[in-house]
Amino acid sequence: MTRTTRAFRVPSPGRAEIAEIPLPEPGADDVVVRTLHTGISRGTESLVFRGEVPVSQYGRMRAPFQTGDFPGPVVYGYLAVGVVETGPGAGRTVFGLYPHQERAVVPADAVVEVPDDVPPGRAVLAGTVETAVNALWDAAPRVGDRIAVVGAGMVGASVAGVLATFPGVRVELVDVDTSRRAVAEALGVGFATPDDAAGGCDLVLHASTTEAGLARSLELLGDEGEVVEMSWFGDRAPRVPLGEAFHSRRLTLRASQVGRVAPARRARWSTSDRLRLALRLLADPRFDALITDSCAFDDLPAVMPALAAGERPGLAVRVDH
């Protein structure tokens, strides 16, 4: 008998469904995980849903355990928490990088145990906090730095939440949406609209995925400051203002991406080590402020189009299975 499970699938750009998909037969080193919760990576999964992954990036943008290919049919996602039903460590609650599906068969070393002091519903943020950890390894903030995080989405808010624990730093979360002030307050950092943000920054982390946000990030830097670009624009080609005072002020613009461990840590940290660190950080209840919405698994075909169209605002959406 073929083993199957129900999964959220994009059959073609702009369409969504719950479909029955086959599962591989588990080997001796595999685990079968029954899903408790998944998280929607709003920006990336909206691009996948709309069919906006550039052809040149099909290989790089594959999720570790996706089924199918871009632009579809594809079962995509990478924020999942579940219980190991069979295989090594049966009974453990684990985080894994597999899509929105009721069960998954993955290698045992591809999941990481969720610490006892981290609720499973919060643990879906592990992949996003891991992205924040990697960006901060790239950015290397120093004691007392003046830092702006431009874009108060899931990624930007996660960065601000981690930075809030750095000694002596001034952290300001910057967004056009003033409702994000409450998130900033819950995380223990400042908030400002782009026009009111404090300048003279040592470091700016940009995560708004907008041209205006990137331009404002450069404006907020002090001389010889650095912008770490965390946004992924898909198939768009944003204009970058590298004229005016960019050269005379000796500004730096660099990329950060979670696909590989940051060079500053790569020789000593594995991706599993980095993920375990992210899960340890999630013992802090402040991160609950990032989960602003939830839905049932069976409602995903209606929820994803609304998210992709910007009709369902908020930060992280937890999917309850």
- Find, among 160, 198, 153, the residue nearest to 180 by Cα: 153
Residue 65 CB neighbours (<10 A): 20
Domain containing residue 95: CATH number: 3.90.180.10
User: Does any domain span residue 262?
Assistant: no
Domain containing residue 206: CATH number: 3.40.50.720
Q: Is 166 exposed, middle or buried (0-12, 13-18, 19+ CB in 10 A)?
A: middle
User: Does any domain span residue 232?
Assistant: yes
Structure confidence at residue 232 (pLDDT): 81
Verify that 23 and 108 share a domain, yes or no.
yes
Residue 27 CB neighbours (<10 A): 10
Number of domains in the chain: 2
User: Does any domain span residue 77?
Assistant: yes
Name the pTM for this structure: 0.92
Verify that 121 and 132 share a domain, yes or no.
no
Structure confidence at residue 2 (pLDDT): 61
Verify that 287 and 237 share a domain, yes or no.
no
Structure confidence at residue 244 (pLDDT): 83
Residue 173: domain span: 128-255
Give the 3-state DSSP-derived string for the chain, with helices as H, strands as E and coil as C.
CCCEEEEEEECCCCCCEEEEEECCCCCCCEEEEEEEEEEECHHHHHHHHHCCCCHHHCCCCCCCCCEECCCCCEECCCCEEEEEEECCCCCCEEEECCCCECEEEEEHHHEEECCCCCCHHHHCCHHHHHHHHHHHHHHCCCCCCEEEEECCCHHHHHHHHHHCCCCCCEEEEECCCHHHHHHHHHHCCEEECHHHCCCCEEEEEECCCCHHHHHHHHHHEEEEEEEEECCCCCCCCCCCCCCCCCCCCCCEEEECCCCCCCCCCCCCCCHHHHHHHHHHHCCCHHHHHHEEEEEEHHHHHHHHHHHHCCCCCCCEEEEEC
Verify that 232 and 138 share a domain, yes or no.
yes
Structure confidence at residue 266 (pLDDT): 96
Structure confidence at residue 239 (pLDDT): 86
In which residue are the tokens 């209606």 written?
A: 302
d(CA 64, CA 286): 29
Verify that 212 and 299 share a domain, yes or no.
no
Final residue in a domain of this structure, among 237, 255, 273: 255
d(CA 48, CA 181): 29
Q: How confident is the model over 145-161, as pLDDT tens digits?
A: 999 999 999 999 999 99
Verify that 105 and 155 share a domain, yes or no.
no
Q: Strand 146-150 and strand 201-206: pairing?
A: parallel
User: Does any domain span residue 43?
Assistant: yes
Token reading at 180: 């994000």
Q: What are phi and psi of 119, to 5 degrees?
A: -60, 140
User: Does any domain span residue 264?
Assistant: no
d(CA 211, CA 152): 15
Verify that 142 and 118 share a domain, yes or no.
no
Q: How confident is the model over 163-204, as pLDDT tens digits?
A: 999 999 999 999 999 999 999 999 999 999 999 999 999 999
Verify that 87 and 164 share a domain, yes or no.
no
Verify that 105 and 158 share a domain, yes or no.
no
Contact 82, 93 (CB under 8 A): yes
Q: Which residues contact 316 (CB under 8 A, 6 or more apart)?
A: 39, 40, 42, 124, 125, 128, 154, 290, 291, 292, 293
Structure confidence at residue 161 (pLDDT): 98
Verify that 103 and 140 share a domain, yes or no.
no
Verify that 37 and 62 share a domain, yes or no.
yes
User: Does any domain span residue 55?
Assistant: yes
Which portions of the chain are predicted below pLDDT 50? 1
User: Does any domain span residue 103?
Assistant: yes
Verify that 121 and 17 share a domain, yes or no.
yes
Structure confidence at residue 1 (pLDDT): 46
User: Does any domain span residue 47?
Assistant: yes
